Amino acid sequence: MFMKSSWIKILPIFILIFGFLFLDAKKEMKESVFVFNTKRKLEDNIEKIINDNKEKKMEVNKKVDDKFIYLEFSSDNKVFSYFINATTGEESNFEDFIKENKRNDFSKKINELIYLKYPKFIADILTVNNGNKVYKIENDKLIIYFENYVIEPVIEEELFLTIDFNEVKEYLDFSFVLNKEYQNENGYNFNKNKKAVALTFDDGPGGDKTNKIVELLEQNKAHATFFMVGNKMESGISVMKNVLDKGNEIGSHSYAHKSMKRQKINDLLSDEEKTKEIYHNITGKNLIYTRPPYGAINDKIKESLDTIFITWDLDTEDWLHRDKNYIVDYVMENVHDGDIILMHDLYDSTVEAVEELLPKLYAAGFQVVNISELANLKEQVLENHNIYRSIRKN
């Protein structure tokens, strides 16, 4: 009787223990089934992606931080990348591995770097999600390729952004390598292997028109050389400083815009010294370039003045035509690598032409730079008493 009573008392305990064991076993079975199904789904998706890209070259197949499988293929210099969630086995997007509360910050940082690299007319489009982004992961950096973005004028070159992981380390939900030293892509890091032209403006400083041109240059990752008249400099100090602050340079266009050929050498020397002194007093810098008014120069002038003479080989005659369309068409139909282009920062039509011309030159593969930058890109040392109408590699 006692034993029967004892069993009755402990039976619920056995039932409870058995229930827990059963539930644990059931849970383990479910987890095992989930892991098996996830693994199978992961393997199936990898196999499918590989089969779908069998005509392409496989570049990468690796697991990243137990977060995802990264697959990368290439074909005709084009990148194809895939991300598969290692937890679910599902194909994902790179954006899924950005911390959820940091996605807006990540997007802002990418947009900031796009504007650092590209002219505004390109960056304005790339920062709007109306195209396709392909993400490529390298050891210490992320590369974004921008595809199917409609940009005018049409850009022939591949558009991409290289981002060091130092720039986005706070936003990503996986581990990566960090370099102590890196440099962001900057549109002002001009390339010696690309075409380049020097854009120059005479007769300034031209007040608001000069400032507007400086603004347009900045928006298009471009620089120019402004040849200014000495007796106008003191009334245009703020304009001059704006020109220089934005990476442009200033040259002499004589003291009073008189033809050098019609002046006595002593008067010419005196006027040039006055221009140099005024410029130095304003900027603390020295003038190294001179553009003779009307391009009028002879051997005696060339040997007498201790300066580098810059003329031009592409004259827009903007002062004559005052027509935006004529100026733009003339330049685009005649421009060549190493050209020095002549314009004047005094006319509304010139400002309008510059606004349209700079994107077109960029789209055509030209870097627009100042005289010093062009000489550096073409590996030329410009010398005093010499005249340069263009600057090309030897």
What b-and-e string marks burial along 47-78, b requiring 16 or more CB atoms within 10 Å of the CB? eebeeebeebeeebeeebeebbbbbbbbeeee
Query: With contact defined as beta carbons under 8 Å apart, do 202 and 257 qualify?
Result: no
CATH of residue 384's domain is 3.20.20.370
Residues 376 and 295 in one domain: yes
Q: What is the pLDDT of residues 349-369, one digit of tens each?
A: 999 999 999 999 999 999 999
Q: Which residues contact 2 (CB under 8 A, 6 or more apart)?
A: none
Is 84 a member of any domain? no
Residues 160 and 258 in one domain: no
Q: What is the pLDDT of residues 43-87, one digit of tens each?
A: 999 999 999 999 999 999 999 999 999 999 999 999 999 999 999
Residues 235 and 152 in one domain: no
Q: What is the pLDDT of residues 311-328, one digit of tens each?
A: 999 999 999 999 999 999
CA distances, 201 to each of 20, 219, 243, 351, 354 (Å): 87, 18, 11, 11, 11
Is 50 a member of any domain? no
* 3-class state of residue 308 by DSSP: strand
Q: Which residues contact 257 (CB under 8 A, 6 or more apart)?
A: 203, 229, 293
For residue 302, which of 199, 384, 378 has the smallest C-alpha distance? 384
Mean pLDDT (10-residue bins), the chain, 394 residues: 54 56 49 58 94 97 95 96 95 95 97 98 94 96 96 95 97 94 97 98 97 98 98 97 98 97 96 97 97 97 97 98 98 98 98 98 98 98 98 94
376 φ, ψ to 5°?
-65, -45
Residues 292 and 334 in one domain: yes
Identify whether 344 is a catalytic site residue: yes
Which amino acid type is present at position 188?
A: Y
Among 202, 271, 318, 339, the active-site one is: 202
Among 223, 337, 339, 344, the active-site one is: 344
Q: Which helix (H) or strand (E) holds 120?
A: helix 120-126
- For residue 53, the model assigns a pLDDT of 97
Residues 256 and 357 in one domain: yes
Owner of token pair 């693994």 = 39
How many Cβ atoms from other residues are within 10 Å of residue 116's Cβ? 15
Residues 347 and 208 in one domain: yes
Name the residue range of residue 344's domain.
Answer: 195-388
Question: What is the distance in angstroms between the CA of the first residue and the CA of the last residue of the chain?
Answer: 115
Calculated CA dihedral for residues 141, 219, 232, 326, nearest 10 degrees: 130
Distance of alpha carbon 333 from alpha carbon 278, whole angstroms: 39
Indicate the number of domains in the chain. 2
Is 71 a member of any domain? no
